[in-house]
């Protein structure tokens, strides 16, 4: 089992979860964590290095791949568009080529995003609804999906995309809601956000995202090439604020109307819930309600747990 991006927010719990199930897991990431169980092989490498990936696939006789290495998020993709294209698109192609050259892999699960949809044309949105991404990040993620389908059709790549949405949880490495508000609430500070009161998001707790990824990875047969993995329910940012205020009644946010601003001058796409009917048919059932996920992170922050602090403020 190979997890690219294994040192990341989603990659790390995936690697640890798979290792706990007795899988021989190789983590391949630009960064090393040094905090995996002893059975895990941790390799430092660049996802665009196809020769290295080929060597890893052969050496460890890899039969499954979860592809999580990426430049992640609209903000990062706006700040460094060429790097996002290089890592996300060239990196995925390097991986797909290596998998096709080596053979023996039964499934490649690509962690994709609700950003592929651009402005949602429906709420909840379905996997076969139009995908017209508007952010550089969404465009790279959609390009990877289309390339994955091309490699599947032309070269037999056993490709499946899991479209995740605003996964949150301990150790989330970016300043994206709900984390900044939770950090303020845990620190006894009020929050302020100039715009975003009209934004709706299908926030997904990390444990649920991992459950869905593993179901797509392990299903004997897949009827589709893309699966939404979220909760199936969107909340507005004012509802999110109300949930946090209920957990920590002293906390307040001054929140302006309109869509959320992801980067200076870059508004978030219009979003909503993701239809999870396909994932449900594989046995997926999200287990962590928003209030519980928020409460877990708040408790971790207040206990000073290092995993809940976020590594890139």
Ligand X SMILES: NC(=O)c1ccc[n+]([C@@H]2O[C@H](COP(=O)([O-])OP(=O)(O)OC[C@H]3O[C@@H](n4cnc5c(N)ncnc54)[C@H](O)[C@@H]3O)[C@@H](O)[C@H]2O)c1
Per DSSP (E only), the strands in 149-194 are 159-164, 167-168, 191-193
Burial of 24 (0-12, 13-18, 19+ CB in 10 A): middle
Separation between Cα atoms, residue 268 and residue 111, nearest integer Å: 20
Cβ distance to ligand X smaller for residue 67 or 248: 67
Catalytic, 284? Answer no
Cβ distance to ligand X smaller for residue 53 or 248: 53
Cβ distance to ligand X smaller for residue 252 or 309: 309
- 8 A C-beta contact, residue 43 and residue 28: yes
Q: How far is the CB of 300 from ligand X (least distance, A)?
A: 17
Give the CB-nearest residue to ligand X: 8
Separation between Cα atoms, residue 102 and residue 118, nearest integer Å: 35
Q: How far is the CB of 52 from ligand X (least distance, A)?
A: 10
Cβ distance to ligand X smaller for residue 11 or 136: 11
CB contact set of 192 (below 8 Å; sequence gap of 6+): 253, 254, 255
Q: How far is the CB of 198 from ligand X (least distance, A)?
A: 20
Q: How far is the CB of 264 from ligand X (least distance, A)?
A: 21
CB contact set of 224 (below 8 Å; sequence gap of 6+): 127, 160, 278
Catalytic residue among 117, 137, 151, 159: 137
- The two tokens of residue 144 are 């990877």
Pairing verdict, β 167-168 and 204-205: parallel
Cβ distance to ligand X smaller for residue 213 or 248: 213
Separation between Cα atoms, residue 66 and residue 6, nearest integer Å: 9
Can you give the binding site for ligand X, defined by CB under 6 A?
A: 5, 7-11, 29-31, 46-47, 68-72, 87, 91, 111, 113, 164, 166-167, 173
Q: How far is the CB of 202 from ligand X (least distance, A)?
A: 10
Question: DSSP 3-state assignment of 119?
Answer: coil
**Catalytic positions, please?**
137
């Amino acid at each position: 089992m190979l997890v690219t991006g294994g040192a990341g927010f989603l990659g790390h719990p995936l690697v640890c979860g798979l290792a706990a199930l007795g899988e021989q897991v190789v983590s391949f990431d630009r960064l090393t964590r040094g905090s995996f169980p002893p059975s895990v092989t941790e390799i430092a490498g660049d996802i665009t290095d196809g020769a290295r990936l080929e060597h890893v696939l052969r050496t460890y006789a890899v039969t499954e791949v979860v592809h999580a290495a990426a430049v992640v998020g609209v903000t990062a993709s706006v700040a460094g568009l060429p790097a996002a294209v290089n890592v996300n698109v060239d990196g995925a192609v390097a991986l797909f080529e290596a998998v096709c050259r080596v053979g023996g892999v039964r499934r490649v699960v690509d962690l994709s995003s609700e950003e592929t949809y651009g402005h949602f044309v429906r709420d909840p949105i379905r996997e076969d609804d139009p995908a017209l991404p508007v952010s550089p990040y969404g465009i790279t993620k959609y390009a990877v999906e289309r390339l994955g389908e091309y490699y599947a059709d032309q070269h037999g790549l056993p490709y499946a995309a899991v479209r995740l949405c605003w996964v949150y949880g301990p150790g989330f490495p970016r300043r994206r809601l709900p984390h900044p508000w939770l950090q303020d609430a845990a620190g006894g500070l009020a929050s302020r956000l100039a715009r975003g009161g009209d934004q709706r998001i299908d926030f997904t707790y990390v444990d649920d995202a991992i459950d869905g990824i593993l179901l797509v990875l392990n299903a004997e047969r897949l009827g589709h090439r893309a699966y939404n993995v979220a909760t199936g329910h969107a909340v507005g940012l004012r509802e999110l604020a109300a949930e946090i205020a209920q957990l920590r009644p002293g906390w307040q946010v001054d929140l302006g109307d309109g869509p959320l601003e992801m980067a200076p001058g870059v508004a978030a796409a219009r979003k909503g819930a993701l239809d999870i009917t396909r994932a449900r048919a594989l046995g997926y059932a999200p287990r962590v309600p928003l209030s519980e996920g928020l409460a877990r992170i708040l408790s971790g922050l207040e206990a000073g747990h290092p995993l809940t602090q976020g590594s890139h403020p």
